[in-house]
Copies of this chain bind each other. A is one copy, B any other.
Amino acid sequence: MADINIGGLPDGPAQSTTASKPQSHEPIWDLIELLFFAYRDFVSDPDDVLAKFGFGRAHHRVMHFVNRHPGIKVADLLDVLKITKQSLGRVLKQLVDEGYVTQKEGENDRRQRLLYVTPKGEQLAMKLAGLQTERIARALGELGPGAHEAARRFLVAMIDADGRDSVQRLIARADRARRPRT
């Protein structure tokens, strides 16, 4: 343990022991700031790689979700990213033009453009996911065995109540889609 423990205090400033009361007491400074720092570093690893490809974070997000959810509809991707179709269109066009993503007509509904990564696209997506996994694995490795589950539960609880179900379904569905063996 030693000096891990941000403030040096074993139980936070006032919230830890009163976590059940949601009144607007003192801000939960430590988690507010830690979320900022953790996320800042979390996205920084891929950024360096992406720069070499002439891509940015927007491309990363698209690549990630297309790779992870093969055959995703444009509309669903928009919903996940919560951006406009114009913003998506810009980066998606580049990814398609440069051969990282392909589009396929929907079988039932031929208006739909289902999105898939190409082998080249998958390679990049997996590379980026690998970087982020390294960081997460290192972090989890420093903590106890329950850390993965604890982190997952915390992050899920942080998501908007209404979007939470669809996010969980999305992730669950992807697990089935990407790993048919088991």
Instruction: Tell me the A residues contacting B by CB distance below 8 Å.
Output: 3-8, 10-13, 15-17, 19-25, 27-42, 44, 61, 64, 68, 82, 126, 129-130, 132-143, 145-160, 163, 165, 167-176, 178-179
Contact = CB atoms under 8 A, between A and B. Distances in A.
Contacts of A174: 29
Nearest to A16: B148
Contacts of A7: 152-153, 156-157, 168, 171-172, 175
Given A37-B167, A39-B39, A153-B143, A133 B30 contact: no
Contacts of A168: 3-7
Number of copies: 2
20 contacts: A3-B169, A4-B156, A6-B171, A7-B152, A12-B149, A13-B175, A19-B145, A19-B148, A20-B141, A24-B130, A25-B133, A27-B132, A28-B136, A29-B68, A31-B136, A32-B136, A33-B68, A33-B167, A138-B157, A143-B153
A38 B31 CA distance: 13
B154 A154 contact: yes
Given A5-B175, A7-B172, A143 B154 contact: yes
A11 to B, nearest CB: 7
B171 A33 contact: yes
Given A41-B158, A149-B12, A133 B27 contact: yes
Nearest to A11: B149
B142 A8 contact: no
A31 B42 CA distance: 11
B11 A155 contact: no
